[in-house]
Amino acid sequence: MSKTANVRPKRAVRRPDASAGIDRGVAPVDLGVLPDLVGYMLRRAQLAVFQDFWRAFEAHDIRPAQYAVLLIIERNPGLRQSQVSAALNIKRANLVALLDSLERRGFAKRVPVATDRRSYALHLTDGGAALLKKLGELSAAHEQRISATIGETGRKELLRLLHGVVQAVGPSTTDDDES
């Protein structure tokens, strides 16, 4: 297989099928130990949650990472790009591309930092603030749909466990700008 066979276009938006491998009229596949592996099931759960997110946010063409960046900027106006990158564990180069997109669409703006000409402070535009209000409603409905399957007690326990995994293993920087 050539090296380029595994390279996907930068702007391609994947919509993974979280139900891959589920019986659709074909013979079931023996997954072996995969369903008992934490990482495998975390990824399957992530795909299922992201599918619901993409459906909910589709009309606004917002991906999970973009939503996270908008939320961080809203809660921390004037934060520098490097701080957002570190807070969300997004590689700086990927954050720059993500911010370029949000800026082009009129949702965020970069303002040069007076004390450091190499740095930019991030702010929402009025359009970004209005969009975020709409997205907040969609996010609440999305979270409710996901939580409905496990109940509020299960949701709190799942969050506690996931925070524990992150704390024990440590966060990693991702180069996947779709997360």
pLDDT tens string 103-160: 999 999 999 988 888 889 999 999 999 999 999 999 999 999 999 999 999 999 999 9
* Residue owning tokens 């440590």: 170
Confidence of residue 5 (pLDDT cuts 50, 70, 90): very low
**pLDDT exceeds 80 at position 97:** yes
Let me know: does 71 contact 108? Beta carbons within 8 Å.
no
Q: What values do phi and psi take at 61, rounded to 5?
A: 50, 50
pLDDT at 38: 93
Let me know: does 65 contact 179? Beta carbons within 8 Å.
yes
- Residue-wise pLDDT tens digits, 7-62: 333 334 444 444 545 556 788 999 999 999 999 999 999 999 999 999 999 999 99
**pLDDT exceeds 60 at position 3:** no
pLDDT at 23: 53
Entry pTM: 0.78
- C-alpha dihedral, 20 to 21 to 25 to 29, nearest 10°: 170
Q: Tell me which of 1.10.340.30, 3.30.70.270, 1.10.10.10, 1.10.630.10 is the CATH number of domain 60-167.
A: 1.10.10.10
Cα–Cα distance, 113 to 98 (Å, whole number): 20
> Stretch 58-75: mean pLDDT, rounded?
97
